[in-house]
Structures are given as C-alpha cells and as structure tokens.
C-alpha cells in the first residue's frame, strides 16, 4: 500500500540527517507503529509521507504511484495530531463535517456521514457541543472522526494520545485499535510510548537517531530485539543488559554465572528480561544470578526487585555505580519480600547475546 524508498531528510544547517535513508513497506490494512525516543525522526518520517515536508532524497509511493510533488490535500491521507486542531467556534458536528464541506459533498449526504461517523466513535449525543465543552478524550474522538469521515486510503497519527492522562490514554488506545481494525484502513502511527507500539501495532518500526533499528511484529521485537538499543527501549521494566567476559563456555560478571553459547569470543553483552528470573538455586544448565536487594516495589499483581551485584564481587567502580542506580531487576509474581543477598535462576533459553562492539544481537542465540 505504502512504499518508502530511500526516504531521507536533512534539514539545512544540521550535520546528521533527521531521517537517514529509510526503506519500508506497509501492507494494505496494516497498522504500522513508528516508535523511538524524542528526536529520532519519527514525526519527520510521517510528515514526509503526508507531504508536509519535502524529502532530501528518495520517495513515497501509495499503491504504486509516486507521490513526489503531490500536495498534502491530494494524497488521500488523513493526519491526526496530538493537538486536536479543532475549530473552537464550530460544533462537534460542524468540525466533523468540515472536510466534507471542503470537498463540496451535498448537505444531506454530509449530515448522514457525520451521524454515522459520530456513532462509530461514541459521540452521537455530543454533536451540538462546542469543543470547549468536551473532555480531552472526547476532543480526541472528534479529531479521529474528522479523519475517519474523509474515508482516506491511509491514516497518519502523530502521538494522538499523548495529551491525555494515563488512564484515558489506555482506554483510548484500546478504542482506537479496535476502530482501526473495524475500518480496515491502512495506518501509520507515531509514538514515543513503547507500550502503545507493542499493544497497537501489527508491526513495529523502531527508530533511533534517524535510523531504522528493526521492523517486526511486537512479539519479535520483544523476544528477539535486533540490537542493544531495541532491547533496552522495548519493555518496562527494561531488559537487564550486562557486559560479561566469557571463559570455557560460561559468561561472568559480578553476581552472574551463565551458560554461554559457543563461538561468542571473550566479551559480549548478555540480556535477559526481569520476568525470567526466578528465586532459588539454579539446576544444571541454568544461569545463576546473585545480588543484594536494594529496593522492593510491590504493585499487587507483581513485585519488582532491584538488585546490586554482591559487594564482595564488585570492583570499587561497579560498587559505586551500584550505589547510584539499581543495576538489575527481577519481576516476581504477587507480593514478594526478598531481602539481603538473594539468588535467582534463569533458563538458558531466555538469555540473549549481543556483540560487544556493534551491539547487534548474535544470531542463533
Ligand atoms: P519528538 O517525539 O520529540 O517529536 P521525533 O522523533 O518526532 O521527536 P522529529 O521531530 O522527526 O523527531 O525530529 C528529528 C530531528 O530533526 C530532530 O533532531 C529535530 O531537531 C530535527 N528537526 C525536525 N524538524 C526540523 C526543522 N524544521 N528544522 C531543523 N531541524 C528539524
């Protein structure tokens, strides 16, 4: 449906490109999430697709047609921003109707479409209100409805939920994904929130520093991150990442004694998710993780244990780093209250290995 070919953006006066040449394909009906930290180039990518920005190189194709030089209005894409950009003196109905008026859709058809779209997003009893009299979530629904009513070939979302409080954001996230699935319209969704990316996307494209790091299903990105950046970015609490030295098939660092796969060399970085650590002695073939409990956070359903490496094993530098920040996290079910020196085991299948220099995940590990 959408193909980006070597799409690149350099702003005058800056050394690094805002977006390094990006190649990406989005299938018809797919919801692709572009995710990454602030400044990674995700909004730039979206604005290039919308036609609000000219690429420095490369192009955007929509259903095989090159969009270069085609104005935003004629691209048949509808964009929803984080600021809702509603007309304050128009009612909800008039706001939703606006794109249809611009296209000179006859009044009767317009009214019918506005009613149907308002019902779709749960605004049918708010049609006569002004935006000032709506909640943040309702305003976001109006913005959505105004995009939906156009029946575009593609939706482009730029952090549409980021102005809302956490609870509402979670609710609208579910609403929005089910609406998009029902409509079946292709969509590209930009967010810095990895939880939105994981829960909403058919696929997730992770960007950092203007460069695509990985594009894959949420599950693949979570379980098989392409490199250290993706590993650290996706998942809360974050994956434990630890530099290790490898000797005779075992990987070591203060508190860690792990079975290492063959062919790793002398140094690597090991990664493992907090939920894969279990209290207790490791059995044969499992990894051994020991540490001093520095803090315990119980959330009810789970407990997060923050561990520092055993003091006796840490170098002075590591011990002082451990004093500043909890270095390792374990996620235990329910309420748990480990204290003092504590031992965990981890299955070797849950260990991921990354190249010490490049940070790339080592295939087959
Ligand atoms: P955020 O989540 O903060 O919006 P982002 O990932 O969407 O970040 P972009 O807005 O795409 O990032 O910006 C990417 C880079 O390009 C940043 O370094 C930014 O400073 C730069 N940039 C964006 N727009 C312009 C502009 N009009 N002129 C110059 N530099 C720009």
Q: What pLDDT sits at residue 310? A: 85
* CB of residue 11 inside a 6 A radius of ligand 1: yes
CA of 38 to the centre of ligand 1 (A): 8
Positions of the chain with pLDDT lower than 50, given as ranges = 322-324, 326
Task: Give Cα 114 distance to the centre of its chain.
Answer: 32
Atom of ligand 1 nearest to the CA of 210: 14
Q: What pLDDT sits at residue 314? A: 60
Atom of ligand 1 nearest to the CA of 11: 29
Q: What pLDDT sits at residue 125? A: 92
Q: What pLDDT sits at residue 353? A: 97
* Residue of 24, 155, 6, 150 lying closest to 68 (CA atoms): 6
Residue of the nearest CA to atom 21 in ligand 1? 18
Q: What is the dihedral of CA 304, 308, 312, 317, to 10 degrees?
A: 180
* CB of residue 18 inside a 6 A radius of ligand 1: yes
Q: Buried (b) or exposed (e) across 229-242, using 16+ Cβ within 10 A?
A: bbbebbbeeebbbb
* CB of residue 41 inside a 6 A radius of ligand 1: yes
- Tell me the per-residue pLDDT of 18-50, one tens digit each, with 9 for 90 and over: 999 999 999 999 999 999 999 999 999 999 999
Atom of ligand 1 nearest to the CA of 13: 29
Residue of the nearest CA to atom 11 in ligand 1? 41
Q: Ligand 1 pocket: which of 8, 13, 14, 18 to mutate (most atoms <8 Å of CB)?
A: 18
Strand, helix or coil at 243?
Answer: strand
Q: What pLDDT sits at residue 324? A: 47
Atom of ligand 1 nearest to the CA of 36: 6
Alpha carbon separation from 86 to 138, 142, 146, 187, 229 (Å, rounded):
11, 8, 9, 21, 37
Q: What pLDDT sits at residue 272? A: 97
If one counts every other C-beta atom within 10 angstroms of the C-beta of residue 103, the result is: 10
* CB of residue 36 inside a 6 A radius of ligand 1: yes
């Amino acid at each position: 449906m959408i193909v980006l070919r070597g799409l690149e953006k350099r702003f005058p006066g800056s050394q690094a490109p805002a977006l390094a040449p990006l190649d990406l394909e989005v299938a018809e009906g797919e919801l692709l999430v572009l995710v990454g930290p602030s400044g990674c180039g995700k909004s730039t990518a979206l604005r290039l697709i919308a036609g609000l920005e000219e690429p420095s190189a490369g192009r955007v194709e929509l259903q095989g047609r090159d969009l270069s030089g085609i104005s935003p209005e004629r691209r048949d894409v509808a964009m929803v921003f984080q600021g809702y950009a509603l007309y304050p003196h128009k009612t909800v109905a008039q706001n939703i109707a606006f794109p249809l008026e611009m296209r000179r859709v006859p009044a009767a058809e317009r009214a019918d479409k506005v009613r149907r779209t308002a019902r779709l997003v749960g605004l049918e009893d708010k049609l006569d209100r002004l935006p000032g009299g709506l909640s943040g979530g309702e305003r976001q629904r109006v913005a959505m409805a105004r995009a939906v009513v156009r029946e575009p070939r593609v939706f482009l979302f730029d952090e549409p939920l980021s102005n809302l409080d956490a609870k509402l954001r979670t609710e609208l996230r579910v609403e929005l994904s089910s609406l998009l699935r029902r409509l079946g319209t292709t969509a590209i969704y930009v967010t810095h929130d990895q939880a939105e990316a994981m829960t909403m996307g058919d696929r997730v494209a992770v960007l950092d520093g203007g460069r695509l790091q990985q594009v894959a299903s949420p599950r693949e990105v979570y379980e098989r991150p392409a490199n250290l950046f993706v590993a650290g970015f996706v998942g809360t609490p974050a994956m434990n990442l630890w530099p290790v030295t490898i000797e005779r098939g075992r990987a070591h660092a203060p508190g860690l004694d792990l079975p290492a796969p063959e062919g790793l060399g002398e140094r690597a970085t090991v990664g493992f998710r907090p939920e894969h650590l279990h209290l207790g002695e490791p059995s044969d073939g499992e990894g051994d993780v020991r540490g001093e409990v520095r803090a315990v956070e119980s959330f009810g359903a789970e407990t997060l244990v923050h561990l520092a490496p055993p003091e006796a094993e840490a170098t002075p530098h590591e011990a002082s780093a451990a004093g500043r920040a909890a270095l390792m996290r374990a996620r235990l079910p329910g309420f748990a209250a480990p204290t003092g020196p504590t031992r965990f085991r981890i299955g070797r299948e849950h260990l991921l290995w990354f190249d010490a220099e490049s940070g790339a995940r080592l295939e087959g590990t």
